[in-house]
Every structure is written in structure tokens, then in C-alpha cells.
Amino acid sequence: MKKLIALFFAIGGIAFVSCNNTEQSATTVQPDSTSKNEDWTLGTFTKADSVNPVLQAGNAMFIDPILKREIKWENKDVFNPAIVVRDGKIHMLYRAEDTIGKYAGTSRIGLAVSSDGLHFVKQSTPVLFPAEDDQKQYEWEGGCEDPRVVEDDKGIYFMTYTSYDGKTARLLVASSTDLQTWKKHGPAFAKAYNGKYKDLWSKSGSIVSTYEKDGKIVARKINGKYWMYWGDVNIWAATSDDLINWTPLLYEDGEKATIELRHYAKEIPEMRIVFGPRPKKFDSDLVEPGPPAMITPNGILLIYNSRNVPAIGDSALVEGTYAASQILLDSANPAKVLKRMESYFIKPDKPYEISGQVNQVCFLEGLARFNNNWYLYYGTADSKIAVAVAPQK
């Protein structure tokens, strides 16, 4: 693992920090696929061993608006990034934790930029964080976690992120025109069904989008609605007219869940489950959306994360392993599964993926169409950020 070197640059009048001192940019060919990739998948990804991890914790300072003092806001861990291609560069919005917050550190969203997708320069202050605003009740002091970002056809960016108040995780929405200043809109489900699900444990909003040739990830309506996959036990769906207010999809009269309700899912039996964990497989304990879902000629492709429990799942993977797979859903009916990979295509096997804040984790969250490749960014052991690359089909 390469030692982090802090370097300060003046770019656009903003102080940035370099996060990798390697001079290499080539990827090492080391396929991670354990099963034959089908023609509808994105293909075989190769971890960029020559540069990974591409982002690590640092000692950048900012004045916290709630604590009202200067703190090292990202000195514990960085992980679980969102990706935006803007002005020919990759912009990474990443989760960073300090060592102060009582819930394993308070999380904030930082920003880093890369010209090649492999070497990143950090901005010195976070762009989204708990503050003395109307969302403090949801964000303090656990913070703002795990962003995913898309844009609409007018170029406005919409971020789904998880807030944590120490008791409940909630899916929240924010918007921006420049990735720097974000307007918080509050819980995604606040207005649905007269607020019935406002305080529902909810995470990981993956909005169905197209990945354009210029790298933009643009949210698209299906049957007159935007669609989003969400959840971290089973995966559910929700629809929206404006990318801000979301309505969870429910079973119609007479329908019922055919998937076993587990964990907190037992509290919401009326919500339509799109798909869930599978016994005797790597995704036996939970499933959770990855990057924004992609509309393809074959259907909607969703990369998803999963956790394994050997006693009920894959005995070859250790307890708690987070591996990732791909699933294909119907473009005309986004709640209908068409195909699903039988195995994972990426799993922890590097030291920085195996050991960290949470061991045995590859958590995929950011995907970019860039320089004729797919760049897939993921959190490693909830501690660092790495990238894997695949050629575009």
C-alpha cells in the first residue's frame, strides 16, 4: 500500500490535496470474475492494481458549522463514492469520516477530481455535511453517507444520500448546478402516502438513467415516471415526477410478497420487493443497489452489492463478505427481473479490501463511461476507495 502524500495545489482558486504519489497509470490485468459474464453484462472488470487505492484518508481541515471549531473532517476513512463526468474530467463525491462523531465518526461528502480516472486531487473542504439547517434532525451526528448522483435533461444534479441520526438511516435528496453548492430537499419519502414512510429505515437510491457518450448520467422517465431502486436488505422500487419526491412501489390488491421478509423488511410487507437475497449463494444475507441503474438495449442493468453468511450462503466466502453482481430488469416494467448473474464479478482479495473499518468489503457505488472504458469505483473495507476498469462494449 502506497504511503499517502499530502500536496497542495491551486486549481480554480480552490485548495486541493493529491491522494496518490504513483507515477503509473496502466492497469494490471487481474480479472475478478468467478463466472462467465453473459452478453448483457458490462463485461470483465480489472482492478487497477498499479494505482489502487486511488483515494485515502487525509488531514484536511474545515470549520464545522455545528461544532463551531476546526476539525479534521476526513482523517479516519474515505469510501463509497458517486461519480460525475463533467468538463471532460471525473468528479468523485465521496463519503469521509472523522474521528469525533460518536457513531464511528461523523460522515460528510467530499469532492475529488481526476483527468484520467486514476489519479485524483481532493478539494480541501466537504461539499455536503450536517449543518444548522432543517435537515439537522436527520443528519446529526451520524452524518451524510453514500452518495449517488445523476442529472436531469437540464443539467441539474440530483444526489440521493443516506442520513443517520444515531437511530434511523433515511434516504435523502439534494440538488446542485455545480457540484459545489447543494440544496437539501429532505427525506425522499416524506410526502408519499401522507408521510407514512418518512421515518422508514431506507438507504441507497439508484436512479434509472442513461450513460451518455459524453459521460453524463441522465435520469430518464419510464412510462411517465422516474424510477429508483433502493434498500439494503431486499431491493425495492420507487417512482417520482421530479427526482425529489419519491413514492415507494406497493403490491396491488391481492398480491403478496413471494420473497421471504427478513430483518426490518418485516415492518413493510406491503412494499413490492423487486429482488432479494438468495440461499446458498454469495448474496445470501442482503442485497443493496450500486451505481445509478443503466438503461441498455437489453433492459435496465443494475450493479448490486451483497453480503454473505456462510451458514446460509456461500461457504467458500468468509462471514460478512461484500461481493457484487449484476441483474437485468425489464425496461417496460422496471419491477420485473429478466436475468441475474449466478455469481459475483468482484470480491475482496486485496489487503486494503480485506482489512479495514469493516473487513472483507468491496462496495460498488460509482460508475463512469470515460475514455472508451467503464470505470467502476468502490469502497474497500469501509476505509479507502479503489477502481476497476473494463473496455466499453
When divided into structural domains, the chain yields a total of: 1
Residue 87 C-alpha from the chain's centroid: 22
In this predicted model, what pLDDT tens digit does every residue of 228-238 receive, in sequence order?
A: 999 999 999 99
Residue 66 lies in a domain: yes
Q: Is residue 2 part of a domain?
A: no
Tens digits of per-residue pLDDT, 233-284?
999 999 999 999 999 999 987 676 666 666 666 667 889 999 999 999 999 9
Asked whether residue 315 carries a pLDDT value surpassing 70, the answer given is: yes
Average pLDDT over all residues of the chain: 90
pLDDT score recorded for residue 386: 98
| pLDDT tens readout for residues 197-216 | 999 999 999 999 999 999 99
Domain contains 114: yes
The pairing of strands 107-114 and 8-11 is unpaired
> Which pLDDT value is given to residue 266?
62
Q: Is position 38 within any domain? A: no
CATH code for the domain of 296 = 2.115.10.20
Q: How far is CA 11 from CA 55, 114, 124, 391, in A?
A: 18, 12, 11, 30
Yes or no: say if 361 and 317 are a contact pair by the CB < 8 Å rule: no
**Residue 69 in 3-state DSSP?**
strand
Within a domain: residue 288? yes
Q: Is the residue at 263 inside a domain?
A: yes
SS3 328: strand
Give the pLDDT mean for 88-110. Answer: 97
Per-residue HEC secondary structure of 71-139 comes to EECCCCEEEEEEEEEECCEEEEEEEEECCCCCCCCCEEEEEEEECCCCCCEEECCCCECCCCCCCHHHH
Identify the DSSP state of 351. H
Range of the domain at 180: 8-29+44-391
Q: Quote the CA–CA distance of 20 and 82 in Å, as a whole number.
A: 19
Q: Is residue 35 part of a domain?
A: no
Residue 101 lies in a domain: yes
Is residue 388 left, alpha or beta, with left meaning phi > 0 and alpha meaning psi from -120 to 50? Answer: beta
